[in-house]
Homo-oligomer: A and B are copies of this chain.
Amino acid sequence: MKFFIILTCFILMTAFIAPTIPQNKKQNLTKESTANKLTGLLLNYDCTDFFFNNPPDQINGQVLDEQIALFARAGVSVLLCNTNAQRTNYASEAFESFWQSYDPDGPDDQPFLADMLPERRANYRRMIASMRALHLQGVDYPARVIQRCREHQIAPWISLRMNDIHDNDRINHPIHGTFWREHPQYWRVSDRKIDYYDRALDYAHPEVRARYQSLIEETLARYDVDGLELDFMREPYLFKPGHELAGGKILTEWLQLVHQLVKNAEKKRNHPIKIGVRVPANPITAQNLGLNVTEWVQLGLVDLVVVTPRWATMDTNLPMQIWKQLLSPYRVTLAGGLEIREQSYPDGPARLTTPDVAFGAAAATLYNGADVIYLFNYFPSMTKNGWTLNQYINALQTMCSLDRLVMQPRRHLLTFRDVFAPGEATDYPLPATGKRLLFRLPTGPKPVGRLVIAKIGIKTGDEMGEKTIELLVNSTRCEYIEKQGAVYIYKIPEGVVQDGVQLLEVVSSGEELVTVERVEIEVGGV
């Protein structure tokens, strides 16, 4: 039940977010250089969290300033301020704002809110009322964020969600823009609704690209940013199924136009403006979706590449090495993206992550080649959902560098990747059933002088007597410690732990097959 509540929070919490980049030279073949790279910690702040958590009668510019001050205290070096889903959280002329057509004095069942679940209406109208209230006070949210960031030496970026389709099963939900609702012919699949992503917009239509171009132009004209992020992870399904490769050519061409818009804005602003993209973890999948990331980098269109899971779980096995190899000849920052949820397998139990699990993922991601960590859905409002404020601040400060991370206790969970191109076969490592099961778990730099524990979670009902499940790590048998419920615990000797990744071999010493549902390595404190 607690889990259900947390998930419900997430449905609200994880509505939206955006990323940041630092520099702007034409990309060229070059020896790998750290000269232009972003450092510190990148944090995407979605377009709703601030407004969900500050009611209309309390919201004002100063509260927002305090929010940015908190990010500064936490060590955020680049704030990627997300300003849109299908609507904007400021009074845009390109998109409708969230509160456009909303009657603040009308009832909960006014037409604008009618297609929402009744129990969701109060929260939602409070949120948009907060946006409206701030606007009516004369505070331009993105401009104020940018101003405060500059005062705190945080690089201000705006992150635009390129295809957000939250609540797309309810066509008249107030979250949607008129453009989306009135043009089902632009949906990537318009003649049915089977898949969550069917109603994403199809970028093969010039009208779709024009719509997002107008938002980009408005953003560059109105807001003096250090960078513009194109967030293709809301959602990465941008073309009609089976038309992704042809679509990718259209998208690359369009990005050249966007790049030119940014170059024009640089001249006007008289300082560099970077371009970032948020893309799926696997480079082959990205390409199969029409997201030709390496080509964009080769063409000099992109300064920041954020490799990330979508939402379901932190991906503790981001293939950073291959991304680093792909991008190392070019001037680009490679960021590894962390999500706030953790889950071992699709539809399995999920929970809000804890700092030690985030540290594990961050340490492995940096060790494997990321230049920086990029956080998504790491809202300050987490401090109302399980994290203390100190934990939040300390956690973000810690994720600024691998040196700090490795001083902390950390946990490495085996998770899965949650984005595949249509028709790609999945490769979920869990759950797994057999008598001898092997798992690879990235763990970052080899811990020295630390207690290292492995935990193997067995499907309830599959538990056997003690010591009937053996664990080998990197071909060496580990000492069995105890069983906690259906979780078998082992100690991994220090000489056995390897740099980078551990190979866990779970062996059922009896005749029965065993189903493993969770694999974890814990590195104790210094």
What is A's interface to B at a CB cutoff of 8 Å?
A: 29-31, 189, 194, 240-243, 245-246, 283-284, 287-288, 294-295, 298, 319, 321-322, 325-326, 329, 421-429, 436, 438-441, 473-475, 498-505
Sampled A-B contacts (13; CB under 8 Å): A194-B436, A242-B473, A242-B474, A242-B475, A243-B475, A245-B500, A284-B319, A294-B322, A325-B326, A423-B429, A423-B438, A423-B504, A425-B427
Residues of the B chain whose Cβ atoms lie less than 8 Å from the Cβ of A499: 245-246
User: 11 other contacts beyond A241-B475, A242-B475, A287-B322, with CB at 8 A cut-off?
Assistant: A241-B474, A243-B475, A287-B321, A288-B440, A329-B329, A421-B440, A423-B440, A423-B441, A424-B427, A425-B428, A425-B429
**Residues in chain B near residue A288, CB distance under 8 A:** 440, 501
In the complex, which of the residues B194, B329, B421, B501 contacts A245, with contact meaning CB atoms closer than 8 Å? B501
A18 → chain B closest CB, angstroms: 27
Please indicate the chain B residues that have their CB under 8 angstroms from the CB of A436 in the complex.
194
A441 and B288 alpha carbons, distance in the complex (Å): 11
Which of these, B329, B440, B475, contacts A189 with CB under 8 Å? Answer: B475
Residue of B nearest to A428 (CB): B425
* Known contacts A31-B29, A322-B283: A503-B473 contact under CB 8 Å: no
How far is the CB of A363 from the nearest CB of chain B, in Å?
Answer: 16
Bound complex: CA A319 to CA B319 (Å): 15
In the complex, the count of this chain's copies comes to: 2
C-alpha spacing A295/B322, complex, angstroms: 11
Chain B nearest CB: distance from A141 CB in Å? 39
Chain B residues with CB under 8 Å of A319's CB are 284
Chain B residues with Cβ under 8 A from A245's Cβ?
A: 498-501
Contact of A503 with B31 at beta-carbon distance under 8 Å, contacts A321-B287, A474-B242 already known:
no
CB of A517, distance to nearest CB on chain B (Å): 14
Query: Whole-angstrom distance between the alpha carbons of A189 and B29 in the complex?
Result: 43
Contacts of A29 in B (CB 8 A): 29-31, 329
Q: Which residues of B contact A421 (CB under 8 A)?
A: 440
* Complex Cα gap A501–B429 (Å): 27
Q: Which residues of B contact A294 (CB under 8 A)?
A: 322, 325
Chain B nearest CB, measured from A131 CB (Å): 37
B residues within 8 A CB of A422?
438, 440, 503
A343 to chain B, nearest CB (A): 15
Query: Are A241 and B503 in contact, with the CB atoms below 8 A?
Result: yes
Q: Which single residue of chain B is at the shortest CB-CB distance from A191?
A: B475
Question: For the complex, what is the distance from the CA of A423 to the CA of B519, rounded to whole Å?
Answer: 12
